[in-house]
Amino acid sequence: MIGIIHDGSGQLRPLGAEERGVWDKVRNLTRRSYSRFNHFQEAIANGKTNDWRCRAGGRYLYICENGLVHYCSQQRGYPGVPLAEYTTADVKREFVTAKSCSPNCTVSCVHQVSYIDHWRTPQTNTISPGGHAGAETPELVTIQGAS
């Protein structure tokens, strides 16, 4: 498996010609399979956004060295709750919360565990995480009439 990660500032950026050549060569070495959930990587390689439902905080938990739950390595501070205090209600809330950072996300493991949920369970809350430790958790906004 090969994955593309973000640039040094955690942002989506298209691959340069040299990087794209290496990526294409390595991808051609792998088998094609229906069970591979990495189609999103093509958009990332081209610096394009992905239309998906990020389930970070719900289906995927990132636990830092301090034992706090964050959406992912790029969104530390959200929600920033100790794992021992993270409840089933937190998991359910985050599952239906759309993250504003998701279109430009390059975190492969979150994409892969969220892939199956693209077609089910709409996200009725939105949040705009700031991605830095110690930040206050922003308010969630519930979208009325979402289906």
Is 12 in contact with 49 (CB distance < 8 Å)? yes
Tokens of 103: 């279109």
Query: What is the average pLDDT score of the chain?
Result: 78
Can you tell me the distance from the alpha carbon of 32 to that of 35, in angstroms, rounded to the nearest whole number?
9
Can you tell me the distance from the alpha carbon of 55 to that of 123, in angstroms, rounded to the nearest whole number?
9
Positive or negative CA dihedral for 26, 27, 28, 30? positive
**What is the band of 36 on the pLDDT scale with cuts at 50, 70, 90?**
low
Residue 132, pLDDT above cutoff 70: no
Residue 11, pLDDT above cutoff 60: yes
**What is the band of 89 on the pLDDT scale with cuts at 50, 70, 90?**
very high
- pTM score: 0.68
State the pLDDT at residue 75. Answer: 84
Helix or strand holding residue 98 (H, E): strand 97-99
